[in-house]
Amino acid sequence: MAKRYKIMHIMATTGGVMGGLEKHTMELVSALAEKHDVYLLADQSYALHCPERVYFCPINFRLSRFNPYLYWQIAHIINNETPHIVHCQAGKPTSIARYLRYFFPQTKFIATIHGVHRKITPYLMMDGIITVSDLLAKQFPATAHVRTIYNGIVSTKPLTPNACQDLRQQYDVLPDENLLIAIGRLDKVKGFDLLLAALVGVDAKLWLVGDGSERQALEEQVQTLGISDRVNFLGWRSDVNYCLQAANLCVVSSRSEGFSYVIAEALQVGCPIISTKVGIAPELLPPQWLVDNGDVQALHNTIQLALSHMALLRAEYSPVFLRAQQQLTVSAMVQKTESFYEDLLKSK
């Protein structure tokens, strides 16, 4: 993609919280801005997170998607800047842009869908659709212009064995003890209640990394199950990649996922995974290490099997780690996104 384009991304979340969608958007616009003129239309609360090379355009996304002023704000910027591409991140921007695109026929409108949606009509009204997993792509008809592009992860430096042991010792994990790790927002959809139930009878400790509305309920469940001596709530941490390297096994117990950054991050640093069949898990992970959503007994049994056959587990994951290091990178994500832009711009 040698030509320099004007590319406008729209992200409608509010509050300044950096979840998976927000992280993906910031990393993508930052990388695209190395070659193109990139604009980010987002709530003022994300101004500090916006990369330096990207033009930040504050939009009051606290307004309802039915508020005419919200449409006017976005249309005004598109009209002034005349971008080649308008790229909507998730549902709210897409539902707005599907109407605006008729006023700007020279601009290509794209939407990325990050999770399963009941209503896909707004996405079908775009010139192109990006899905973050093949699972999400299956909800669209064959006639739609859809491309799956995995989210990319910024690689981190590996920890030394001594640094891993130091991190484990902070939480009284002995060198020969099994350590499980689960990461994410402490929310019902992440299924941490299922993981805690599955942990009963497993000879391992668990680091639960993250924070959220379900924390108190999960802490009470730990007490009820009698496993408080084996579960540590680490809260939100900026060194998740280091925590993954200190663990023997990552467990994803989610009831639903669009992509799952945790899976990508674990694979990048060489941490094997037991996962429910969500997001990219069925597309990347060996099938014998997947369990049905909500099946506590299967989750328990699979964790036990993995811990008793760690050498086999790591051997089976070796090619998966290699694939992740090649495909789940920011550079791969950007290259595929640029290619999709180019295809759309060439089409009538």
The whole-chain average pLDDT of the chain stands at: 93
Over residues 11-35, the mean pLDDT reads 91
Alpha carbon of residue 43 to chain centroid: 20
pLDDT computed for residue 42 by the predictor: 97
Q: How confident is the model at residue 304 (pLDDT cuts 50, 70, 90)?
A: very high
C-alpha pair distances (Å), 61 with each of 90, 280, 293:
13, 29, 34
Please give the Cα distance from 51 to 27 (Å, whole number).
Answer: 8
Q: How confident is the model at residue 115 (pLDDT cuts 50, 70, 90)?
A: confident
The first and second tokens of residue 281, run together, are 């898990």
Those residues whose C-beta lies under 8 Å from the C-beta of residue 92, and which sit 6 or more positions away, are 12, 61, 65
Largest CA distance in the chain: 64
Q: What angle do CA 116, 188, 17 make, to 5 degrees?
A: 75
Its pTM stands at 0.84
Residue ranges of domains in the chain, CATH in brackets: 6-152+329-346 (3.40.50.2000), 161-327 (3.40.50.2000)
